[in-house]
Amino acid sequence: MKKTILILFCCLALTACGQETIKEPTQKGTTYAKAGIRYDCPPSWEISIDEQTLENDYFSSCKQKQGSGLITFKIHTQPISERQMLDTLVEGYRDLYKKMNVNVEYDEMPEKADTVDYKFTARDIDFEGSIQTKKCPDSTVGIIFQHAKKDKGSVEKEFERINNSISCL
């Protein structure tokens, strides 16, 4: 799991395997539909990861072509709670960055939270983000929104646009 997350965030390699992915270019950008979810990646962004990592796990990332904006989706197609998904992503992300000597600071997570904000500094650049979850009929989705603080103004509207496009299939 940790190795998969490390590969996911560090390499951002474009790969596709497993189920067929629908990547349909439109004026809205590219529509991604796979493993029970659908979202629109805007024209100034690109789908940089499309990977089945385990039998029931899929990763997809939509990243800003010019800038630091990144949204990563972890889709688990077996029944787990939104909190289990959140805890898995928080632990995995913390471990990933610890290996790179980066300390990730998370806001407090109330017991029933299904979202958490975080921040870290890497290479003298301050980053911030949010991890949230979504329950679909056939999957549980973890969604990681991340950007450099200096790029906040250039990503907020796109994050909102992408977030509003997320739906269950």
User: CATH topology for 2-8+29-36+52-168?
Assistant: Protein Transport Mog1p; Chain A (3.40.1000)
Our CA dihedral for 6, 109, 47, 98, rounded to 10 degrees, sits at -20
Residue type, 124: D
pLDDT confidence of residue 3? 41
Whole-Å CA distances, 20 to 8, 23, 50, 58, 94: 19, 9, 10, 12, 31
Percentages helix, strand, coil for the chain, rounded to the nearest 5?
Answer: 25, 45, 30
Two tokens, residue 125:
């650049």
Would you give per-residue pLDDT tens digits along the chain (169 residues)? 444 333 333 333 223 333 445 555 556 689 999 999 999 999 999 999 999 998 999 999 999 999 999 999 999 998 899 999 999 999 999 999 999 999 999 999 888 888 999 999 999 999 999 999 999 999 999 999 999 999 999 899 999 999 999 999 9
Q: How far apart are CA 63 and CA 69, in angstroms?
A: 6
> Structural domain boundaries of the chain?
2-8+29-36+52-168
| Exposed / middle / buried, residue 126 (Cβ in 10 Å: 0-12, 13-18, 19+) | exposed
Interatomic CA distance for residues 137 and 122, integer angstroms? 37
Cα separation of 49 and 12, whole Å?
6
